[in-house]
């Protein structure tokens, strides 16, 4: 295990302005938000680039514009993207879009419950883009192990979606246990969804695991109060890390 934990900021996900008025969508907004979350303690960034109409995209031009803008704002800070199947459900088209990326991110997340996940991960590795294997259940760990790609991943994302904090922490522990049982020994980053995010993060910190936070994952602080922006979420998570140091 590595300590202190590595803190990543997830800036937008599939969120819209209706979810939160300060969700960054354009490349300019992503660059500006990246700068302030890094100042607040983030050491890496995860973003979902948008088309001009605000919809998520895997298209090369929009991907490149977002990556370039973020790197200009935060030189040297690793930038990661999504490969979510909901953006392009057709596996062949999704692979073609990823193959078209010219301004490549440092890493990309692959949800191992999605159709085509193994092919997407292999393509990323071929293109020398780090793979974050997204694991929401113990079954996803089995899929990752069967692929033979576990040890080639940059890290695994233990990303539990349970609505109850105790259940979310237990689900993360179960995934962690299965990774250990199957001897997939790569860095782990834990995160949740909604208010349970904070319980998952705190449990992960005590075990020296990496964490992430941002408006993609939660709109509230640990006390349930609405978060002003990504920077406030990141600063709160960084304070938790310091508290457990």
What mean pLDDT is reported for the chain?
97
Mean pLDDT, rounded, for 70-94: 98
**pTM exceeds 0.75:** yes
* Contacts of 116-123 spanning 24+ positions with Cβ under 8 A: 116/85, 116/91, 117/143, 118/143, 118/147, 118/149, 119/91, 119/95, 120/83, 120/91, 120/94, 120/95, 121/147, 121/149, 121/153, 122/149, 123/95, 123/98, 123/99
pLDDT tens per residue, range 17-26: 999 999 999 9
pLDDT tens per residue, range 102-134: 999 999 999 999 999 999 999 999 999 999 999
Within the chain, residue ranges assigned H as helices are: 27-40, 60-73, 91-99, 117-126, 138-147, 165-181, 196-206, 230-243
pLDDT tens per residue, range 146-203: 999 999 999 999 999 999 999 999 999 999 999 999 999 999 999 999 999 999 999 9
pLDDT of residue 57: 98
């Amino acid at each position: 295990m590595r300590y202190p934990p590595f803190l990543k900021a997830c800036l937008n996900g599939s969120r819209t302005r209706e979810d939160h008025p300060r969700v960054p969508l354009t490349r300019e907004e992503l660059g500006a938000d990246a700068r302030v979350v890094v100042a607040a303690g983030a050491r890496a960034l995860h973003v979902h680039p948008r088309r001009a109409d605000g919809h998520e995209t895997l298209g090369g031009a929009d991907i490149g514009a977002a990556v370039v803008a973020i790197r200009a704002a935060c030189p040297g800070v690793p930038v990661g993207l999504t490969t979510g199947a909901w953006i392009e459900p057709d596996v062949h088209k999704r692979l073609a879009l990823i193959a078209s990326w010219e301004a490549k991110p440092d890493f990309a997340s692959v949800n191992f419950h999605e159709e085509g996940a193994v092919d997407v991960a292999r393509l990323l590795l071929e293109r020398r883009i780090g793979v974050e294997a997204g694991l929401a259940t113990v079954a996803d760990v089995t899929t990752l192990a069967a692929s033979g790609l576990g040890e080639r991943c940059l890290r695994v994302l233990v990303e539990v979606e349970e609505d109850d904090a105790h259940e979310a922490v237990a689900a993360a522990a179960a995934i962690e246990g299965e990774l250990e049982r199957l001897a997939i020994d790569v860095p782990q980053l834990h995160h949740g969804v909604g208010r349970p995010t904070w319980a998952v993060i705190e449990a992960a910190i005590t075990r020296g695991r990496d964490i992430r936070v941002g408006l993609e994952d939660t709109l509230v602080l640990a006390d349930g109060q609405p978060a002003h922006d990504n920077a406030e979420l990141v600063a709160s998570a960084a304070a938790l890390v310091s508290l457990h140091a």
